[in-house]
Amino acid sequence: MTQSSWADIEAEVSRVFRCTHEPVLIVYKDSVDGRRTYRHQCQMCGWGGRHLRKDSLEADERASAPPFDDKIRQAWFDAREEYRRNLAGAARDDEQRAWWAWYSEYLESDAWRTKRAQVLRRSGGFCEGCLTEPAEQVHHLTYERAGDELLFDLVAVCSGCHQRAHPNKKINSFSGVA
């Protein structure tokens, strides 16, 4: 994924998960030494605001204050992370779709036809996977330089060996695609 894609994702996550810290609730938290402190806690993101002075609160506010809820903050961060992962997955899917569209076009180009012919000629017409069947297709050993391949990135293969190289993909025997 590109640097700008990540920046766009982070900007979107920040936009969606911007919190105004409303509504807030007066909550209490007991310190290690047993003292009870009061503060506001955002009920959306779990942010714990500044400490409130005990004498600034009415007795019923102190009595009805629930404990500080750490789960709100964790749920907020979990939701944020899930949203980020979903955006990243969608961006990867979009990039992958764009790459495969480009690659399909490339396989129809004169540049690919020339490279394919060179590889088939180099193999002497035999599959470089099994050395027994006629070579019908050209397989990429790496897609790292797709579109600007070095000829050693490509091997001539029969449809059976090509299918073995891509066990989870249906290979068109007539296409010669990699």
Tens of pLDDT, residue by residue over 12-28, are 999 999 999 999 999 99
Report the DSSP pairing between strands 36-42 and 48-52: antiparallel
List, in sequence order, the alpha helices (H) in the chain. 3-16, 59-64, 70-106, 110-122, 159-165
d(CA 149, CA 115): 9
pLDDT at residue 1, as a whole number: 56
Residue 74 has pLDDT above 90, yes or no: yes
| Across 30-34, 133-137, 158-162, 168-172, least confident range | 168-172
Does a cis peptide bond (omega within 30 degrees of 0) precede residue 134? no
pLDDT at residue 129, as a whole number: 95
pLDDT at residue 105, as a whole number: 95
Select the more confidently predicted residue: 170 or 97. Answer: 97
d(CA 11, CA 121): 51
The confidence band for 66, taking pLDDT boundaries of 50, 70 and 90, is: very high
| pTM score, whole prediction | 0.56
What average pLDDT does range 44-54 have in this prediction? 90
Residue 172 has pLDDT above 70, yes or no: no
pLDDT at residue 4, as a whole number: 59
**Residue with tokens 């299918």, as numbered in its chain:** 163
Report the DSSP pairing between strands 48-52 and 154-157: unpaired
For residue 90, what are the contacts with CB-CB under 8 A and spacing of at least 6? none
The confidence band for 142, taking pLDDT boundaries of 50, 70 and 90, is: very high
Enumerate the domain spans of the chain: 3-103, 107-165
